[in-house]
């Protein structure tokens, strides 16, 4: 798998290696300085490959049903994990923190979105949400996406809700009394989140904030999965120096917000 041996290189296994994201990550790792791809793991493969190939790091880009087990395996074997897969709700995050407490040298990054623009958009939205009466999130993705709402939308809404709560802002005004099921979207805490699935899209999100007489829209578009790769590589280069759990790539950035 590795084209050359470099004693100091990070030894990286990519899980979900044949998928849309995983295949991009395989190429990005192969082309990155200071990294060796030692395993490209698919759904039919054993996780023992990580041990047999001496992986020091893994990237998980699989499916919500598989990611928790994959990360648990990595932590138990002292392998640092950079995780882009969705499905990490608060229950899973708590269980992971408990697992990491017994493996204090291991770092795990759970990153709902690796694109720098998306990370910034979420941070801006969290900051701005406390200043507006109304706040809603619309996420728009390719139709092969298996989960809704997107992990990014859930995380953005959680951050917005926390900022509104801390500032004492109540729920967005809404007089709806009668609706078709789902017409107002899902709710994350008290923020409405709407999911669009459309052929031609990759990954997009718009946060709408409104007060009397004005609206602020914060939009991010990933037009190509290449947009996620600098974040994946930053995660791999940083995770070993950040033992324990980091939730969100912003944890590795100095956004100063």
Ligand X SMILES: O=C(O)C1=N[C@H](C(=O)O)C[C@H](O)C1
Ligand Y SMILES: NC(=O)C1=CN([C@@H]2O[C@H](COP(=O)(O)OP(=O)(O)OC[C@H]3O[C@@H](n4cnc5c(N)ncnc54)[C@H](OP(=O)(O)O)[C@@H]3O)[C@@H](O)[C@H]2O)C=CC1
Strands in 107-110's sheet, in edge-to-edge order, are: 35-41, 10-15, 57-60, 80-83, 107-110, 244-247
Q: Which x/- pattern over 153-192 shows residues binding ligand Y (rule: CB under 6 A)?
A: ----------------------------------------
Task: Give the single-character DSSP code of 175.
Answer: -
Question: Is residue 227 close enough to count as binding ligand X by CB under 6 A?
Answer: no
**Count of residues in contact with ligand Y, rule CB under 6 A:** 24
203, 207, 209, 236: which one binds ligand X (CB under 6 A): 203
- Judged by beta carbon, residue 16 or residue 107, the one nearer ligand Y is 16
Identify each DSSP E strand in the chain by its residue range.
10-15, 35-41, 57-60, 80-83, 107-110, 134-141, 186-188, 191-197, 203-211, 214-222, 244-247
Question: Is residue 112 close enough to count as binding ligand X by CB under 6 A?
Answer: yes
Instruction: Please tell me which residue in 141, 194, 204, 220 is annotated as part of the active site.
Output: 141
26, 35, 61, 108: which one binds ligand Y (CB under 6 A): 61
Bind-site residues: 16-21, 84-86, 111-114, 142, 151-152
Backbone angles phi, psi at 183, to 5 degrees: -60, -30
Question: Is residue 150 close enough to count as binding ligand X by CB under 6 A?
Answer: yes
111 binds, among ligand Y, ligand X, none (CB under 5 to 8 A by kind): ligand Y
11, 80, 141, 194: which one binds ligand X (CB under 6 A): 141
The terminus-to-terminus CA distance of the chain in angstroms comes to 41
Cα 111 to the center of its chain, rounded Å: 3
| DSSP 3-state percent helix, strand, coil across the chain (nearest 5) | 35, 25, 40
- Judged by beta carbon, residue 22 or residue 107, the one nearer ligand Y is 22
Q: What is d(CA 32, CA 230) in angstroms, rounded to the nearest whole number?
A: 10
Nearest to 114 by CA among 256, 246, 257: 246
Binding site for ligand Y (CB under 6 A): 15-16, 18-22, 41-43, 61-64, 66, 84-86, 111-114, 151, 228
Binding site for ligand X (CB under 6 A): 86, 112-113, 141, 145, 150-152, 203
Catalytic residues: 141, 145
């Amino acid at each position: 798998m590795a084209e050359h041996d470099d004693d100091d290189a990070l030894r990286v296994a990519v899980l979900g290696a044949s998928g849309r994201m995983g295949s991009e990550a395989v190429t990005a790792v192969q082309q990155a300085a200071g990294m060796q791809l030692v395993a490209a793991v698919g759904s039919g493969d054993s996780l023992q490959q990580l041990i047999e190939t001496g992986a020091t790091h893994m990237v998980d880009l699989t499916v919500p049903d598989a990611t928790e087990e994959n990360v648990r395996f990595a932590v138990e074997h002292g392998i640092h994990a950079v995780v882009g897969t969705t499905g990490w709700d608060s229950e899973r995050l708590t269980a992971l923190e408990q697992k990491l407490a017994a493996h204090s040298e291991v770092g795990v990054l759970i990153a709902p979105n690796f694109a720098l623009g998306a990370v910034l958009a979420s941070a801006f939205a969290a900051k701005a949400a406390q200043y507006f009466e109304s706040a809603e999130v619309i996420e728009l993705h390719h139709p092969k996406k298996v989960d809704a709402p997107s992990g990014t939308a859930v995380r953005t809404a959680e951050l917005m809700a926390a900022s509104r709560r801390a500032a004492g802002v109540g729920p967005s005004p809404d007089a709806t009394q009668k609706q078709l099921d789902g017409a107002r979207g899902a709710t994350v805490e008290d923020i409405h989140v709407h999911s669009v699935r459309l052929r031609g899209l990759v990954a997009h999100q718009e946060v709408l904030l409104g007060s009397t007489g004005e609206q602020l829209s914060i939009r991010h578009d990933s037009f190509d999965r290449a947009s996620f790769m600098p974040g994946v590589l930053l995660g791999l280069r940083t995770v070993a120096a950040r033992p324990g759990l980091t939730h969100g790539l912003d944890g590795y950035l100095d956004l100063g917000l």
